[in-house]
Structure 1
Amino acid sequence: MASACLRMGFALLALGWGAAAHPQTESNAPAPAPAASARSPVDDAAQEQLLQQAMTQIRAGKNADAIHGPLAQIIHTYETAYAHSKMRIYCAQSMTEALLYMGMASSKHQQSAQVLSKPTWAMAYYLSGYAYGSMGDMAHSEASLKQALLLSPFNSQFLSELGNVYENEKNWPSALEAFQSADAAAEFAPPEQKIALRCHALRGQGYVLVELHKLDEAAQKYNDCLRIKPGDEVSIRELGYVWGLQVKAAK
């Protein structure tokens, strides 16, 4: 089994990070109260450029440069801008996700909440977690991803990456829970990403279930992926591996 195959490719990441829009600008439907429409105190375009710079560095294997350079700048900028805010701040990558957070704020009777018009802040934490994980620093990876999830608690990509961290630590129960949450959260992702995110989360579950010696359940997860993404090469390969284990176990 190839654990590295479970990590998200940058193609999907690049597709999704700039897709979100504030619910008040993308739809005529009113967002559930409480909501805030205050103008952003941050130059979002400049932060997006820094995010692209960080992604380029990570692709080139310059993970530490990305963490301590552009990603640190982004995080510092947003943390400073919102340090004294009395609002609960969220980042979302889709209208559905944004409305979910506003609904959560309303149900919890929070005084006020705001979904930022761009998910750049959360993506900076996510990329830091990804980069730390690539360097084998799982403690900092986990901490960064949890910061990302404070801003975007139902982001499937963030949850799957946290599952990868737990998987590397061989914390199978936590990994399984994270991948299950990622599978459910894919429902709130942009439509063009849902299948890829669900398959990633399902393959993550399959990997963990094999490690837990639950081969029938693992096979089911890979088959679930193939039902929504026929021909998925990773699932086919891993399913063959599971079948081989089942044959050995039956002897």
Structure 2
Amino acid sequence: MKLAFALLLAAAPIGAAQAQESTNDAKLGEIVQLIQGGQPQQAVDKLNPLLADYERRYAGKPKPLCDVEPAETKAYAGVAGKDYTLADGGWCIALWAKGFALIDLKQLDAAVPFLERSVALAPFHPHYLSELGYAYQAQKSWQRSYDFYARAADAALRQEGDRRNKSLRRAWFGMAFDMIEMGRLDDAEKLFRKCLEVSPNDEAVKSELRYIEEQRAKKKTS
């Protein structure tokens, strides 16, 4: 979790409104520490006014989309044309952080709308897409979870190197898990084997492959 937060904060750009964004980045840093320190409620309390500030800043502006990473920002023109507003990437981090904190507080249903909002504002960010996929998975909404993990896998192709591999592994693993729950063992196996292409020594993936073989053996003997 610490690495994920660090990567997201590093991606938040410093644009024209440097002073405001710098202040919000500092607040996000404090919120990160609270979540990492096992204080999710305190994090939520600090996130509420921060999120309200973002809503005020972009109220009435055409289709805000978070300025997260250059490759993603470049892709916005293909889906939004010229009619959108490039918003501070910290907004999406704050939305995601509130969802994360609410999950820590065992408030999954309350968390989902914030994760959905982060995806709406950053539709090509693999991390937000996978987080939403995970939340739907926790709700046992297998197909919906699969769909967002699949979007995360597509979005990961805009990344490079180790970050790309990690994003692909997470997305494919989530998709495979959903396939198991939907009874599609062959499809799940293919996805887990794709995981091994980017993470060859992944014991969690190997364990799932063994589980699939066990389920097949049970079917043969039943």
Q: Would the TM-score normalized by the shorter structure come out above 0.5?
A: yes
**Residue matched to 2:57:** 81
Q: 1:94·1:189 contact (CA, 8 Å) conserved in 2?
A: no
Match of 1:44 among 5, 12, 21: 21
**Residue matched to 1:169:** 139
Q: Cα offset for 1:123? A: 0.7
Q: 1:160·1:178 contact (CA, 8 Å) conserved in 2?
A: yes
The verdict on how the C-alpha distance between 1:77 and 1:42 changes in structure 2, with shifts beyond 3 A counting, is farther
Q: Deviations over 1:220-251 (max 9, x none)?
A: 11110111221122212222222222222222
Show the 5 A alignment for 1:172-187: 172-187=142-157
**Residue matched to 2:95:** 125
Mapped to 2, the partners of 1:191 and 1:13 lie a distance apart of: 19
Q: Deviations over 1:135-161 (max 9, x none)?
A: 221221111011111210121111111
Give % identity: 24
What SS does the corresponding residue of 1:43 show, helix, strand or coil? Answer: helix
- TM-score, length-scaled by structure 1: 0.80
Mapped to 2, the partners of 1:248 and 1:205 lie a distance apart of: 23
Q: Cα offset for 1:44? A: 0.7
What SS does the corresponding residue of 2:10 show, helix, strand or coil? Answer: coil
Aligned residue type for 2:6 = A
Question: More helix per residue: 1 or 2?
Answer: 2
- TM-score, length-scaled by structure 2: 0.90
Within the alignment, does 1:61 sit opposite 2:32 as a pair?
no
Alpha-carbon RMSD across the aligned residues, in angstroms, is 2.1
Name which structure has the greater RCO, CA cutoff 8 Å, separation 6+: 1
Q: 1:156·1:182 contact (CA, 8 Å) conserved in 2?
A: yes
Within the alignment, does 1:199 sit opposite 2:174 as a pair?
no
Q: Deviations over 1:3-58 (max 9, x none)?
A: xxxxxx33133223322548xx8xxxxxxxxxxxxx33861111111111111111
**Residue matched to 1:95:** 70
What SS does the corresponding residue of 1:188 show, helix, strand or coil? Answer: coil
Structure 1 spans left out of the alignment, 5+ residues: 1-8, 26-38
Q: Cα offset for 1:96? A: 0.9
Q: Cα offset for 1:134? A: 2.1
**Residue matched to 1:113:** 84
**Residue matched to 2:111:** 141
Q: 1:91·1:115 contact (CA, 8 Å) conserved in 2?
A: yes
Match of 1:214 among 172, 184, 204: 184
**Residue matched to 1:28:** none
**Residue matched to 1:36:** none
**Residue matched to 1:158:** 128
Number of aligned residue pairs: 221
Structure 2 spans left out of the alignment, 5+ residues: none
Show the 5 A alignment for 1:22-37: none
The verdict on how the C-alpha distance between 1:189 and 1:128 changes in structure 2, with shifts beyond 3 A counting, is farther
Mapped to 2, the partners of 1:241 and 1:42 lie a distance apart of: 52
Q: Deviations over 1:169-224 (max 9, x none)?
A: 11111111111111111123465421111111111111111111211111111110
